[in-house]
Amino acid sequence: MTNVDVVVAGAGIWGSTLARRFAEKGMRTLVLERRSAVGGNVRCETDPESGIEVHTYGSHIFHTSIPEVWQFVNRFVTFNGYQHKVLARHKGKTYFLPLGLALINGFFGTELKPSEVPGFMADEAHSSRLFDAFFRGYTSKQWGRSPEDIDPSIIKRVPVRASYDVNYFNDCNQGIPLGGYNSLFDRLLDHPLITVKCSQRVCFKGGAFMVGPDALPNIPVYYSGPIDELFGYKFGELPWRTLRFETEKMNIADYQGTSVVNYTDAEVPYTRIHEFKHYHPEQKDVMALEKTIVMREYSAAWKRGDEPYYPVDNAASRLLLEAYQAEAAKIKNLVVGGRLGAYRYFDMDKSIAAALSIEI
């Protein structure tokens, strides 16, 4: 490990973007990934029987309105233009999300005009019914809180579209890489100055960065793993929500007619069902197969050994994060970032933007 100029710990979207930038600046870059493969939570696997690309850690849709980010990723992959739409199941009926005219009129059996939406939603009876149907149960499952502990005023902070636009994201650029997400990481890391080593965990111990029994050379380290894990949880564990997935192959062409359906009722144990073949409508042969793959997603409290997904933001976690950030600030040549390192939920484009903004 001596013939290296910089170490990137974590081969997710932030780390892989940084590694590419370092290599293109002529820096010999060592990428260390704690999992057995690169890609972070965007990692996918292609089912050998059907050819369906399965998002291993739940659905990921690339979307951005940041020109520099769109320009950067298109150096490496071409996107298929997929436009994401999410449906919600409540009491046996299906509705379009997000909160807009399609949902409001379908749920209440009305025919509101766009100009009538603000006044309609200002009525507490209407907003409370929508909250109870589509937010209360889903939020309780997602965050592990009793439905009674969830404040209905949340819905007042939810954007309401006074239109029939049912695209989930407003970003002008959306899609899935034509060759799948793994192709993005393969190409980002395909550079003669980048060396990738998987199944390698980095920690800071005894005043040095360690990979197993070996100390890293005294060079810059860009770390995007869990910040508390880096320091051996010395101040305690940051709280996360984790996810569990149940995947099922079916001998039918189409199970739910779309890529994601949220299940908003508290009595349904999972939060949503993913059906992955819908992410690649350009793959006509795959779409025509009498085969599909669905994944049921369950949310749970994180414990050590689980994959961390969503940071739990509260007063205690903010204080704990500050303690770890202060510890990291003491270490020369350490930069902490990415979703796990920053203890923040980032969309993919925001992770890339953060990596592009770092001065090299």
End-to-end Cα distance, the chain: 21
Number of C-alpha atoms within 13 angstroms, CB side, residue 281? 9
**Which of these is catalytic: 75, 124, 148, 157?**
157
pLDDT for position 151? 66
Fold type of domain 6-38+189-237+311-357: Rossmann fold (3.40.50)
Residue 357 tokens read as 């903004």
DSSP 344: S
d(CA 39, CA 36): 10
Residues 129-173 have pLDDT tens digits of: 998 999 999 999 999 987 677 666 666 657 789 999 999 999 999
Catalytic residue at 20? Answer: no
Catalytic residue at 347? Answer: yes
Residue 247 tokens read as 């995947």
Q: Where are the domains of the chain?
A: 6-38+189-237+311-357, 44-97+166-178+240-301, 99-162
d(CA 98, CA 85): 9
Residues 84-115 have pLDDT tens digits of: 999 999 999 999 999 999 999 999 999 999 99
Q: Do the beta carbons of residue 360 and residue 22 sit within 8 Å?
A: yes
Model pTM score? 0.94
Catalytic residue at 327? Answer: no
d(CA 343, CA 241): 12
**Choices 3.40.50.1370, 1.10.3720.10, 3.90.660.20, 3.30.70.270: CATH for 44-97+166-178+240-301:** 3.90.660.20
Tally of CB atoms within 10 A around 283 = 16
d(CA 193, CA 29): 6
**Which of these is catalytic: 272, 275, 279, 343?**
272
Catalytic residue at 47? Answer: no
**Which of these is catalytic: 297, 339, 343, 349?**
297
Residues with Cβ within 8 Å of residue 119, at least 6 apart in sequence: none
d(CA 87, CA 103): 10
Q: Report DSSP letters for 248-284, one per residue.
A: EEESSS-SSSSSEEEE--TTSS-SEEEEGGGG-TT-H
**Which of these is catalytic: 20, 21, 161, 339?**
161
Catalytic residue at 161? Answer: yes
Catalytic residue at 21? Answer: no
pLDDT in tens, the chain (360 residues): 569 999 999 999 999 999 999 999 999 999 999 999 999 999 999 999 999 999 999 999 999 999 999 999 999 999 999 999 999 999 999 999 999 999 999 999 999 999 999 999 999 999 999 989 999 999 999 999 876 776 666 666 577 899 999 999 999 999 999 999 999 999 999 999 999 999 999 999 989 999 989 999 899 999 999 999 999 999 999 999 999 999 999 999 999 999 999 999 999 999 999 999 999 999 999 999 999 999 999 999 999 999 999 999 899 999 999 999 999 999 999 999 999 999 999 999 999 999 999 998
Catalytic residue at 318? Answer: no
